[in-house]
Amino acid sequence: MQPGLLVISVRTLAISGVATLLAIVVGVPIGYLIARRPFFGRTALLGFVNTGMGMPPVVVGLVVWLVLVRNGPFGPLGLIYTPSAMMLAQFLLATPVIVGFTTASFQALPPRLSDLLRSLGAGPFRTAWLLAREAHIGLLAAVMAAFGAVVSEVGASMIVGGNLARSTRVLTTAIVTETSRGDVERALLLGIVLFALSLVVSLVLTVVQQRNRP
């Protein structure tokens, strides 16, 4: 009846991993466009993005819950209390982190670099790709920050996932359950697994980030 440690860990990795990947796909291009050149309202937009980086997960969870419940606007999709609902909430939490870090990394590049690449004959997509390679240290920091934020988040997952033992219980919500049950040993074990999971993912990304560095 109690899902095993392995099941919960794999589920955690899958939900937070997919949410982070979606946030990269959406957030990196947005961050690049914001960084490329000034436009009206850019500072205000960045202000919103930076606020979003510190958005309380429980509030995001509550809003997603209200949207997905049966009599909510997207109720007919039947997504409430499913892993998809958790991915959606975590995606909303991760995206501002990715956008904010991406903008900062591209803005930190020498401003003429883009013009130089264009004058050497690179098209817009090739320019973006080459700039992204230059900015890869900051971009990988963005990925680590976003994954770290969603994998350790508990409020939104609890609210929109429901902490169902067979389908939506992840490491953080399992820790809450075991603590309130009074099984502190198992809670601690889950905490160690969560920490190890974050550590492995961060180490892999750090190795990628730091290679070719003197």
- Residue whose CB is less far from another protein, 15 or 28: 15
Distance CA 98, CA 109 (A): 17
Q: Considering the complex, state which of residue 15 and residue 174 has its C-beta at the smaller distance from another protein.
A: 174
* Separation CA 95–CA 20 (nearest Å): 8
Task: Compute how many residues bind another protein; rule: CB under 8 A.
Answer: 20
Interaction between residue 166 and another protein (CB under 8 A) = yes
Instruction: State the nearest-atom distance from the C-beta of 88 to another protein, in Å.
Output: 16
In the complex with another protein, the residue whose CB is nearer, 103 or 163, is 163
Please give the residues from 6 up to 65 whose contact with another protein meets the rule CB under 8 A.
none
Q: Is residue 81 near another protein by the rule CB under 8 A?
A: yes
Integer Cα distance of 152 and 142 in angstroms: 16
Residue 106 contacts another protein per CB under 8 A: no
The conformation of residue 37, written as its DSSP 8-state character, comes to S
Q: Which residues contact 29 (CB under 8 A, 6 or more apart)?
A: none
Kindly tell me which of 145 and 176 has the beta carbon lying closer to another protein: 176
State in angstroms the smallest separation of the CB of 181 from another protein. 5
Residue 209, interface with another protein (CB under 8 A)? Answer: no
3-state class of 34 per DSSP? Answer: helix
Radius of gyration of the chain (CA): 19
Q: Is 4 in the site for another protein (CB under 8 A)?
A: no
Q: Please give the DSSP secondary-structure letter assigned to residue 3.
A: P
